Amino acid sequence: MGVLYGVFVRNGNLKIHNRIYAEVLVTYMTVKTLEKQEISGMEAGWAYKNRDGSLNMESVLLGFQSFMKKEYSRKDRDFLEKNGRLVFLAFLKPIINGNGFDFKEPQISEEKRLDVVITYLNEKFVAELKLWRGQQYHEYGLEQLANYLNMQGLNEGFLLIFDHSEVKNWQSEWLETHGKRIFAVWV
């Protein structure tokens, strides 16, 4: 039936016909898995939502920080330096599942690319991901994110910093840069 309705295609092996069907199938399987599991007595996604059902990005980033703190090993450093965004998006997927989408490096005006854009219901969140390379580079990242937020007409943004220092900081803070509120989290 999957071949008949165009979900699958046969060309030697059985394959998913296109990326949309692949996304739908992954989402369906994720929901079915989460229905069988509970996190602190709540479904995974609801742990990161406000009372009105909107997404609480501050909680999402703090949850990701907590996850990384529990699971991080120095052996993972090289992997995270190259694939930190992948790990973050894998953490995010079951949270926004069914009500939102994540976009990697979408192009905006002036040929600039945002690291991650998350849409959830009628909300839009911009997250910039950076490696910790000192305070000067951090200031540059804050300014870059503030400019992106300005282009997108947003007042708040999120900065996820992968810190590979010997002694990890694990801090988080709200900052103000060029009139924009930015929540920065170190993992």
Give per-residue pLDDT as tens, 124-180: 999 999 989 999 999 999 999 999 899 889 999 999 999 988 888 899 999 999 999
Q: pTM value?
A: 0.71
CA angle 161, 96, 24 (to 5 degrees): 120
Q: Same structural domain for residues 98 and 159?
A: yes
Q: Same structural domain for residues 107 and 169?
A: yes
CA distance 80 to 87: 8
Overall number of domains in the chain:
2
Crossing angle (nearest 10°) for helices 77-96 and 19-36: 80
CA distance 38 to 65: 20
Tell me what pLDDT residue 91 has: 92
Q: Same structural domain for residues 151 and 167?
A: yes
Query: Where in the sequence is the domain holding 171, given as residue range(s)?
Result: 41-186
Q: Same structural domain for residues 10 and 98?
A: no
Q: Same structural domain for residues 142 and 50?
A: yes
CA atoms within 13 A on the CB side of 65: 21
Whether pLDDT at 78 is above 80: no
CA distance 89 to 136: 27
